[in-house]
Amino acid sequence: MAAEKARVRKLALGRRDGIDPVARAEGSAAISEAVLALDLAPGAAISAFLPILSEVDLTETIARLDERGHPVGLPVMVKSGLVFRRVRPGDALVPLGFGTRGPGPDAPEIIPDVLLMPLTAFDRQGGRVGYGRGFYDRAVADLRAAGRFPRLIGIAFSVQEVAAVPMEPHDAPLDMIVTERNVFRFA
């Protein structure tokens, strides 16, 4: 299973990395508009992410969600897994490892009602392959164990779609996937 996930990840990342920078910016803008058009409950706490490598850039999405009154958090890797720390436009960000940056340890944590999740590959059944370290799967499991059931929304470019994602029992299927071309709903 691990080898198949690695194969799928490599193929999809190769396609994502090949997106022209102008097309990547246009695609990110289209994804931002699609996310902002979703039926998000007023005041819902939302986890987002800032891009690493060739990921979708949600910077504008974060700013606009904040303007609409949504507390927005960014994922921060800690010894116990992931926590989500509140971010506001203009906040100072610090390097967090794995090429990420985000709020420092003094930023308050949020418990997300919605997770906007990065991924390397997805399928039309709600399957998701991440970077292979399991941080989001563990975070979702921890939230569910605490009685929280956030809406899981994968964020990707359409070139990251594959025919089928290999899924293991611990893999949390997505409720929705947003690309620059489509919004796929599974729940």
Domain harbouring 137, CATH code: 3.40.50.10420
Is 68 labelled a binding residue? no
| Residue 178 marked as a ligand binder | no
Answer whether 50's CB lies under 8 Å from 74's CB.
yes
- 50 labeled part of a ligand binding site: yes
Domain of residue 15, residue span: 2-185
- The β-bridge partners of 85 are 74, 109
Interval 88-115: pLDDT, tens: 999 999 988 777 889 999 999 999 999 9
pLDDT band at residue 171 using 50, 70 and 90 as cut-offs: confident
* Residue 114 assigned to a binding site: no
Given a cut of 90, is residue 26 above it in pLDDT?
yes
The neighbour count for residue 53, using CB atoms within 10 Å, is 11
Q: Would the annotation count 128 as a binding residue?
A: yes
| 6 annotated ligand binder | yes
136 is in an annotated binding site: yes
Q: What is the DSSP letter of 179?
A: -
DSSP 49-113: ----TT----HHHHHHHHHTT--EEEEEEETTEEEEEE--TT---EEEETTEEE--TTSPEE--S
pTM value is 0.95
* Number of independent structural domains in the chain: 1
124 annotated to a ligand binding site:
no
40 secondary structure, DSSP code: P
Tokens standing for 91?
A: 């906040």
Position 99 scores a pLDDT of 79
pLDDT number for residue 115 = 98
Cα-Cα-Cα-Cα dihedral sign, residues 153, 33, 132, 70: negative
Q: Confirm whether residue 86 is marked as ligand binding.
A: no
- Residue 131, φ and ψ in degrees, nearest 5: -90, 0
144 in a labelled binding site = no
The tokens describing 168, both together, are: 């293991």
Q: Examine the pLDDT at 181 and tell me if it is beyond 80.
A: yes
84 is in an annotated binding site: no
Sequence-ordered list of residues with C-beta below 8 angstroms from that of 80, at least 6 positions apart, any chain: none
Do residues 43 and 68 make contact, with C-beta atoms less than 8 angstroms apart?
A: no
pLDDT 10s digits, 113-161: 999 999 999 999 999 998 877 889 999 999 999 999 999 999 999 999 9
- Whether residue 135 is annotated as binding a ligand: the answer is yes
